[in-house]
Amino acid sequence: MNINKNPILDLAKKRVVLFDGGMGSALVSLGLSGGECPESWNLSHPEVIKDIHRKYFEAGADVIETNTFGANRLRLASFSYDNQVEEINARAVEIAKSVCPEDKFVAGDIGPCGGFLKPVGKVSIEELEESFLEQAKALSQAGVDLFFIETMYDLREAISAVKAIKKVSDLPIFVSMTFDKKPKGYFTLMGNTISECASELKKAGADVIGANCTLGSEEMIGLIEELRKHTDLPIIAQPNAGKPEFIQNKLTYPQDPESFAEDMMKIIKAGANFVGGCCGTTPEFIRRIHKKLFG
């Protein structure tokens, strides 16, 4: 980390910290095809990735996430890129850092492996930790400022990622689960509750916990209120731009930036310390939040 940078956890004690918005949905809008590896664009279209990062910084983001959501060996194998884990992650960090202002941050993004842990699926805990360890090492060596484990639907997988990072780095670790709203409350795909996630992630050593994806901004207000009851850790919230819809064979997100930003103010009031956007959000969404926060 650049020694001139104000550590991100200290910054959050002074004010709300603003993350970026969607990367995957941005790439789809720019031509990424359904069967294409998003992370391969770090190698084939670096200027496109750089431009997305730059626009988020220009919109007011304090933190941008590297284009490495699926850049672990297990997930990259489905695209036959599993022999390029280090190269893809290192290039992603290089691209992000090339447009990062001195007082801003680059988060090393780590998403799920794309499969299910045993006994539901075929992936073992050992395979998972090895895969995350390889990615975490590459991101750490390339010089990220923090780690962001996101869109986790299995608490065991999230904890495996935390353990892997802790073997190679002492940088701040953010962990964001993805919950759906059910009649009896909020649950991950694997049935993990908010209270269970809050308790176990703190035990594992996460510095910041939260939620992203699946839900739109309005639905996430209640989730963050609930999470705040169960944790004293800082909270991150990154909703989608509403529920995605297929219109004329094109995936679209219905929410407008202004109503999203209004909901984000309610999410902050509910207890979030870090906010941003997930699928369907663009630099304009981040700009609107920044304006409401800082004028």
Query: What's the pLDDT tens digit per position in 179-206?
Result: 999 999 999 999 999 999 999 999 999 9
Q: Find out whether 69 and 41 touch, Cβ atoms under 8 Å.
A: no
246 pLDDT more than 80: no
Residue identified by tokens 């992603």 is 92
**CB-facing half-sphere around the CA of 255: CA atoms within 13 A:** 28
Report domain extents, the chain: 8-294
Q: What is the pLDDT of residue 6?
A: 58
**CB-facing half-sphere around the CA of 209: CA atoms within 13 A:** 30
More confident of the two residues 250 and 139:
139
Share of the chain above pLDDT 70, in %: 98
Look at the chain and count its residues: 295
163 pLDDT more than 60: yes
Query: What are the backbone angles phi and psi of residue 65, rounded to the nearest 5°?
Result: -100, 135
Q: What is the pLDDT of residue 148?
A: 98
4 pLDDT more than 60: no
- Out of 12-26, 48-62, 116-130, 244-258, which region has the weakest mean confidence (pLDDT)? 244-258
pLDDT level of residue 286 (50, 70, 90 thresholds): very high
- 172 burial (CB, 10 Å; 0-12 / 13-18 / 19+) is buried
Q: What is the pLDDT of residue 12?
A: 97
d(CA 234, CA 272): 7
Residue identified by tokens 């664009």 is 41
Q: What is the pLDDT of residue 1?
A: 36
The mean of the pLDDT values for the chain is 95
- Out of 92-101, 151-160, 250-259, which region has the weakest mean confidence (pLDDT)? 250-259
54 pLDDT more than 50: yes
Q: Read off the pLDDT of each residue in 149-171 and give the average, rounded to a whole number.
A: 97
pLDDT level of residue 249 (50, 70, 90 thresholds): confident
3 pLDDT more than 60: no
Neighbours of 126 (CB within 10 A): 9
Q: Identify the CATH class of 8-294.
A: alpha beta
Q: What is the pLDDT of residue 5?
A: 46
The counts of H helices and E strands in the chain are 12, 12
pTM of the model: 0.95
Q: What is the pLDDT of residue 207?
A: 97
Tens of pLDDT along 218-233? 999 999 999 999 999 9
Q: What is the pLDDT of residue 244?
A: 79
Residue closest to 56 by CA, chosen among 95, 89, 87:
95
Q: Find out whether 84 and 47 touch, Cβ atoms under 8 Å.
A: no
